[in-house]
Structure 1
Amino acid sequence: MIATGGAATDWGAWSGSIAFWSLYLLVFFALGSSLMLLFRRRWLDVEKVPFPHIMAVSEIINTIGSEKKEGKLWWPFALGLAIGLIFELQVMFTNLFAWWPDLFAWRTGLSGETTSFVGCVCIQIGDPLGSILVRWGGYTKNLLPMAIYYLAPLSVSFTVTIVTLFMFIADQIAYYMGYYTGIFQMGGGCRILGWGGMTTSYGMGPPFYWIFTTMIGGTLAMSAMIIFHSRSYLMETIRAARGRGAPGMEANEAFSYRTIYIMIGASIVLMLAFLFSAGLSVGTALAVVIVQGIINTLAGVYVMGLSGSAYLHERALWPSWPLRLFWPSAPQAY
């Protein structure tokens, strides 16, 4: 009704859901932003994590805000801005107006596939590459990821390329060894997410369980490494919070480390209170705080900073694995 009109919206019926999800986002934002304040100096000043999105925004601000426009830099920037604007306007008008010419095959692709608003394409059965390559589940038509990945460190881009090629080859070999039976009769979404059955999904099924390996094992490993390699830094912040830090240590920080630790503690209390109000038990709420609020946040932001890629796809799904400790099988009313 909100999208198409024609009927009055029952805001009373929607208010509970709106309030819940607004608070959900706010409590996780409070904890996540507090953790970022804690790791700011380590990541930006010591490790020099690039954060490609921030680099792009900073460059735009510096270019536009400069009183003297240097020709060598200004014209490429203006040209890129014009190309991006034309591209986005074409996509927007294609989605808004049925009569607008579909120049980028956004509504219907060459094999009948459709493109999401953000440019994601899940292949259909019969796709030329999808009929040959097990791991060819989709691609993007969005120009922005290409630009962001260009800003990522070369070592990161090289590693991602090599690992991706390895996964393509490994999945192809697994298919010829008898895995992923029937996968060529599946579209992209079924191949990736297992909607047609876990055994036919290269992402969710055997023998590699790639998505579980990366989203759960990889996230835990990443967070453990972040904390381990930052152990001396974290001890310095604790000493500073107790008033025993080195002189000038907090000079460039937005808040003192004592304030930051208070913010982290208060955010955890607020998050627990919110989860308790939603009916979660103590154990379940602690699992959500530790995994979703801390572990996944650290890993997700760190990978985003190194590569520009949003690592934790379906972020509300993957923190659920600790709940198996409480419910080995899903509750009947689930």
Structure 2
Amino acid sequence: MNLLSFMRLMAVALPAWLAGCQHPAASPEPAGPPANPYGLATEAELPARMASQIQPFWRQQVVQGRFAASGGLMLAYALAEPPQPRASVVIVNGRTETLLKYAEVMHDLWRQGYAVYTLDHRGQGLSPRLLADEPEKGHVASFDDYVADLAVFIHRVVRPRSAGRPLLMLAHSMGGGIASLYLERHPGVIRAAALSSPMHAPNAKVLFSATTGCLWFKATGGVCPTCWAGLLDAGWKASTFDDSRNELTHSAVRHGLVEQVISERRQVALGGPTRGWARAACQASDALIEGAGRIDARLLVLQAGEDTAVTAAGQAAFCAGLQPAVRPQPCPLRIEGARHELLVEADRYRLPAMTAILDFFAQP
């Protein structure tokens, strides 16, 4: 991180920290059942809907394939196109994730008339692993590779099938960082992008803070870049839901469905990141915050109030760097009490998040 980027980050992060990390745009947790204007599945309904609607949708409507990405790597993708789509949505998923995890989200969007396209990043999901002998290590040399892959996917798969339709983007976590870099480098392609818990700065906490953690990984990540990033990192392990210890979601139902996907398709399992990935993530954070002013797409930035995977300070610094013409109000929009997995959360958090996303996409 150069001195200018560090000063920009501290200008936003320090006042928030001194104020107890309260965000002026924070919305309180809903007291009663959250509104559900789009008829999305609730946790109580989800197992039945999975069997009667979502799984048949996946078998009958979703097309899977592979495309030659940057460097010729054959990456997995999936798409679903309703009759006469109103727009096209590109989903950019997060670290450790797979397109198989997004069946509910894809179905939500498809039901609202959107054509949906998504890919598995190099090194994870159904795409080839970059460390063939250690397939459960999350590794990448540079986030530039992710961004280049996304650009090829949009150019070769999405745009030829979109027939002039507006292009929208929904990105989560690491995908939010990748999407931000893509938007900065490819203006004029995406009309609007919704970023869910975007990784504008990873919570690479070492010793004192995420900031010092990133300084550590950038200084030392070149030493054994394919080693685990932390002393206790390991491959994927199946887990039962424990609300008191789960840092990603409050939803036992949705957590169980994700675990089922991975256990049934064991090849998509991914464990902790490498030192090289951590260094690349921190370098990407510097670049995307510094380049935020180049984005010309309308944005929605959703922040999870209890996020421990990415930092609120990074999201605030990104928002501060946006042009006033595209900066949403508020930015970020904070969903108080939510954990990192906004799209795989309990109803009281997921419904407000998905409603905000669908409302945003419906705007002209």
- The answer, yes or no, to whether TM exceeds 0.5 is no
Return the TM-score normalized by structure 2. Answer: 0.21
More helix by share: 1
More strand by share: 2
Return the TM-score normalized by structure 1. Answer: 0.23
Considering only CA atoms, is the larger Rg found in Structure 1 or Structure 2?
A: 1
